[in-house]
Structure 1
C-alpha cells in the first residue's frame, strides 16, 4: 500500500475541527442576532413603538415587524408603501401630516406630528411620529425615516382632564351668575325698602349700600360673560361701574362730566372687587359733595401699570375740595374709612391733595 506523506499544516482532523468551529461560530452569531431581533421586537411591542423608512425616489417603504399590528394593516399583504400607511390615517388628519412634512422640508429640521389612525374594527388610536428627511449631495430629499409611538392612553387622559376643566369652568360661571343674581336681589330689596323711608339721611345710606352691592355684582357679571374666570379686566370693570353710578344719580354731562384714561390692566377677582369698591366710594363722594350748583363739574379717573407691574389709580375732581387740615385716617364719613381699609388690605399706599379740588393717588403692588 502506497503511503502519501501529509504535508505540514494539512492535518485532516485539524481541518475538520477548524471547519466545525467556524460553522459553530456562524451559527452562534446567527442565533445571537435572532435573539437580539426578538429582544428588540419585544421592547418595541412593550413600548407600542414602531420604526419605518420611506424611499422617496421609489415610493417603497420598509418597517419593523410590529408596524402592521399597530396600524391594523393586513399581515399577509406584501404592500409596503406610503399609500398603505396613509389609508389608516383619520381623513381629518391627513392634511396635517402633509403640512408638517412640508414645514420640515422647508426648514430641513427634524419634526414630530400627532395624528389619529382608524383600525379595521373602527377603533381610533393616537400616534406620535418623530421623523427626519435625508438629502443627497444636491440637497434633494431622498429618504424619510421615523419612529411612531402609540400615545392613545396619554391623549385620552388629556381629553378627560380638558373635559373636567371645561365642566368646572361651566360650574364656576354658573356660580358667578347666581352670585350676581343674588346681589341683584339684595339691591332690589334695598330699593324697595328705601321707598318707605322719609328721612333723606337714611335714604342716602340705603343708596350707598345699593351702590356697593352693585359694584360687587358687576364683577360677577363680568366673570360670567368672560372666558377668563380668574382675572378681571379692570378697565372694562371701571367703565361699567362709573356708568352705573352716573345712572343712579341721574347725572347729565352738562352738569358733571367724566374723563377716563385707562390702561388695559387685569387683576384677580379679590383685588378687582377691592379696587371697585375704592372707586365706587371716591366717585360716589365726588358726585354728592364736590360740586355746587354753579360749578361745571369734572371727574377724572386714570389707571396705569408701570414696568414693575405696579398699578396707579388716580381719582380727582375740580370741586370745592376738602376741609383744611383734613386727614384720611381721622376722617369720619364711612366711605373714606372704607377706602383707607381697602388700600391697606391691598398692601397699597394712598396720597391725596385737597387743594383746587380733590385728588387721590393710590398705588397697588400687583403680582
Structure 2
C-alpha cells in the first residue's frame, strides 16, 4: 500500500514537472517573441526619428543658404555646410534602418535623389551669390523650382512617416498582446512552482535524494526564465499585496539602482526610487487597475542613488482570490530612457526651429531694407553732384569757349563725356536693381509687337550705324513682362550693332523657334564674335572684354538681359566664334 502511494506521488510529480517544462518553453518562446516585437517597435521609432531629423537638417541647409544669399557673409555658410555633411550620414542611416523593408528602401532611394536635387539647387544659388551677386542668386530662390523640390521632399517624408506610424501601431499592439500572454504564462509558472515546492517538500520526507533532484530542476527552470528576461533587458516583479513584500529579478534591481541579491524587498523600497512627481500618478494607476479589474500599465521616472534619472515602462497583472480580491501583482518593466531622451530632443528641435526661422527672416528683411536704401542713395544722392559737374563743364564750353585754350576745352569735354558715362552706368545699375526688386506680372505677349516697339526705340541708332535688321515675321506669342522684354530685346539689338569691326555695317537677323512648351528667340549678328572661354562671363555685371575706347558701354547690358529673362522664368545663352559673329538666344514659356 505504501509503495502504491509513493508511485502515485511520483506520477503526480512527473506530470507537474512536464507541465512546468511545457509552460517554461512556452514562456521562453513568448518572451523571445516579446523581445523581438519590442526591438521592432524601437526600430520603427528610430526610422521616424531619423526622418524628422533629415527634414530638420535639410531645413537648416536651406536656412543657412538663404542667410548667405542675403548677407553674403561666409559665417552663414557654416550651418549650411554642416547640414550638407550631416544629411548624407542621415540618408545612409535611413538606408540601413529600412534594409528590412524593400518598399521603404525604394522610397529612401527616391528621397535621396530628391534631396540630392535640392542640395544641387542650394549649391547653385550659393555659387551664383558668390560669383554673380545677390540679385542673380535671389532670382533662383524666388522661382518655384526650389519650393516644388522641397514640397516633394516633405510629401515623400510624410508618406514614409505614415507607413512607419502604421507599422508602429501594429507592432505596439502585437507587443502588448504578447506581453499579456507572457504575463499569463509567468503567472501559471509561478503557480506551478509553488505547487511543485509543496510537493517536493512532502517528498523530501519520503525520499531526501529524490527531493534534491527536483529542487535542482526547479532552480534550472527559474534560471531559464530569468535568462530570458535578462536577454530582453527586462525586469520582473511579484508583489504580495497583503505583506507588501516584493520579489525582484536582478535586472529589475539594476534599473532601480539597488545592489542585487537582497532576498525580500518591500513596496517602500520601490516607492523610494520613483520620482516624487510621478509617484502619485503611478499609485493612482495601481488603484484604478484594482478597482476596474484591469491590467496595470505606466511610464514613470526612477531616481537612482547617484541622482541619475531613468525612464521605465511597466506592465502588471493582478492575481485574485476566490472572492475576486487582488492578492498579488506580477509584472515586467524595461528601461526606456534612451527613447525618452530622443523624444525630448525632437520636441526641442521643433521648438527652436520656429525661433531660428523668425530670427533669420528678420535678418533677411533688414538686408532688403539696406539694399533699398542703397538704391535710393544711388538714385538721388549720387546723381545730384554728377549733374552739377556735368552742367558746370558744359557751361564752361558754352560761356568761356573764347577764353579756354585747346587743352582746357579738351579737359572740359572729357569731364562732360565722363559724367555722361557715369550717368549711363547709374541708369543701368538702377535698371538692374529694379529688375531684382520689382514685382513682374507675366502675361501672354505677341513677340512681333515687342520687336516693333524695340525697333522704334532704336531708330536713331539704326540710322546712325546703317544697320540692317531682318525680322522673320510673324513671331509667336510668349509669357513675359512687356516692359522688361522690350528692354531685353533692345539691349540685344544694341549689342549687335555695337560690337562690329570698323567700317562694317551691322547685319542683324531675328527669328523664333518652338521647343515644346517654350519659345526661343534668336538674334544673330555679323560682329567680332566671342571666344568660348568668355561666353559665360559676358552675362555678369561689369564684365567687359574690350576697353571703353574701343567699344563704349557700361558692362551691364547683358547682365540686365540675364536678370530680366531669369525674372520671367526663362533662360539665355549665346553661340559664337571669334571673327564669325554671334547668335544670342532667349527662351520663354510659350503663350497660347
TM-score (norm 1): 0.43
TM-score (norm 2): 0.29
Q: Which has the higher strand share?
A: 1
Q: Which has the higher helix share?
A: 2
Structure with max Cα Rg: 2
